[in-house]
Amino acid sequence: MPIPRDILDVERPKNTVVIVYGVNKDKYAVRQRVGCKRVNGKNIPLNGPTIGHIINGKYVPKNQNPNINLSKKKDNPEFNLDLKDWANIMLSNELFSGILEELKELYSEDDAHRIFAISILRVCYPGIKDYELKEYYDNSFLSELYPNISLSKNIVSEFFKNLGKFCNTIKKFMQKRAGEVGLEHHLLIDGTLKSNESKINSLSEYSRKAKIKGARDISVLYAFDFDRMEPVCSKCYPGNMLDVTSYKDFIVENGIKKGIIVADKGFPSSAVQEQFDENKDLHYLNPVKRNSKFIKTHNLLDFNQIISGFEGITYRKEKCSGINKWLYSFRDSYEAALEEKSWIERARKNDSMNEEEFKKCKDKFGTIILECDLDIPPELVYKIYKERWQIEIVMRFYKNACLFDETRVHDDYSIIGSEFCNFLSTVLSFKLINKFDKAELLNTFTYKKIMSILKRAKQARINSGDWQLINMNPSQVKVLQKLSLLPQDEVPTKRSPGRPKKNV
């Protein structure tokens, strides 16, 4: 239909054309002329992008259009939210900025920002799906700090695949972190199983827990620096691979050459003895199985000393002849009583008390036997190993608090790429825990509660374009102040008084 003369006469930029649109053909867009093409000997003009609209008899540039179309926000690059999550993102960015610089040393700036953003979003919004990353990114202050990060479903899917294909870059990142471990640092190494029912990757296999879980798994090995309270490196393995098989590969792959490795019975030192021999700054402290020949040979169950500083703990220390190994045996009288009680209770239920078997087991109740290639005080050995339970917290936190108990990607490359981001998310999680602990917040709140308070702290855009914190409870403001997100002297806005009580 023809465009009214009064619309065509409205002053607008040169080299533009008016286009009518809308259901009733009553809306007018102004498009830019970008050139022409030759068709059958004639020059046909080419229209470019829409640069504005004619509204109420005036030309309004596109970026000044006062009327926002909420139904088309996904297609509008200039659509900006006026309320965004603030505190959780700002604190994570502050603690995690060092990791971003490390990523930029190995990846392009765009890729580094994408890895960084995905890792932060998985911490701030536990259980987030990959197709939700874009929405949470737009709804948070991350889009203000690092604008224009592409996180659509298809882009993220392809990105994880490419990230896994270049796994040597991930290896370099892990090796750099392992190289920063100090000589006296204690590395706790353990693994965990994650459900993965994919039929198209080589990592998903039936593990030793398959009968219980009824599902296939992948295995993820972690090294945790107990002195820094932070994960150091990780790697994925098939779910059916034994710990002893992956142990050597994990040490070599990540370039672990310094520190004291504290592992469990599934990671014997003999499996990586070559690495200990080649790296003089790498040592081990491992438990010995209760049926080991060393126990009888060195009379390790004949305890002859008492550890000072620990209640009810006796020990024995012996040097292995001909090899660089010391054996430490400990007996906890309290644990021994509990184990004896449990053994008797099982025998009572089964009505199968065996005197010889009982005497044989009784000597081992409450005992821990460790081997180490360092001659160190027994008090330190016992303390180090008793604190090894911290790695169990890491694994439990990795699965439960971060909701990483299963993988949602399928092929090998995507799993490797996604697990790399999960590792970085775990690093950030423990940086947050350390921050909360230093601020003495964990004495009052749980980690989950603190994160919910941070998520509650949003900022809103005011008319001038500046951002302002929304109204919050005084107790929540104090949490933000303890975390240095707000000045200590800032007083929260008091609520207006409610209606007075009625006179009866």
Domain residue ranges of the chain, discontinuous segments joined by +: 5-75, 83-264+390-493, 268-387
Closest Cα partner for 148 from 82, 89, 80, 201?
80
User: What is d(CA 308, CA 259) in angstroms, rounded to the nearest whole number?
Assistant: 26
User: What is d(CA 125, CA 136) in angstroms, rounded to the nearest whole number?
Assistant: 8
String of b and e for 35-65 (b: at least 16 CB within 10 Å)? eeeeeeeeeeeeeeeebbbbeeeebbeeeee
Contact 258, 181 (CB under 8 A): yes
Closest Cα partner for 153 from 420, 426, 414, 422?
414
User: What is d(CA 279, CA 265) in angstroms, rounded to the nearest whole number?
Assistant: 22
pLDDT of residue 121: 95
Strands 259-262, 186-195: pairing is parallel
User: What is d(CA 94, CA 404) in angstroms, rounded to the nearest whole number?
Assistant: 24
pLDDT of residue 308: 83
User: What is d(CA 487, CA 131) in angstroms, rounded to the nearest whole number?
Assistant: 37
For 365, the 3-state DSSP assignment is coil
Contact 361, 301 (CB under 8 A): no
pLDDT of residue 404: 46
Q: What is the value of pTM for the model shown?
A: 0.70
CA 155 from centroid of its chain's CA atoms: 21
pLDDT of the chain, 504 residues: tens digit per residue: 688 888 888 999 888 989 888 777 888 888 888 777 777 777 788 787 788 889 888 888 876 555 555 555 554 444 567 889 999 999 999 999 999 999 999 999 999 999 999 999 999 998 888 889 999 999 999 999 998 899 998 999 999 999 988 889 999 999 999 998 888 888 888 777 655 444 444 344 444 455 555 556 677 888 888 888 888 998 887 765 666 778 888 888 889 998 888 887 777 777 888 888 888 889 888 888 877 888 888 889 899 889 888 888 999 999 988 788 899 999 999 989 998 898 888 888 887 777 778 887 888 888 889 989 888 889 888 888 777 766 666 566 555 555 544 545 456 788 888 889 989 998 998 899 899 999 999 999 988 899 999 999 999 988 766 888 999 999 999 999 999 999 876 554 554 555 666 665
Strands 282-287, 259-262: pairing is parallel
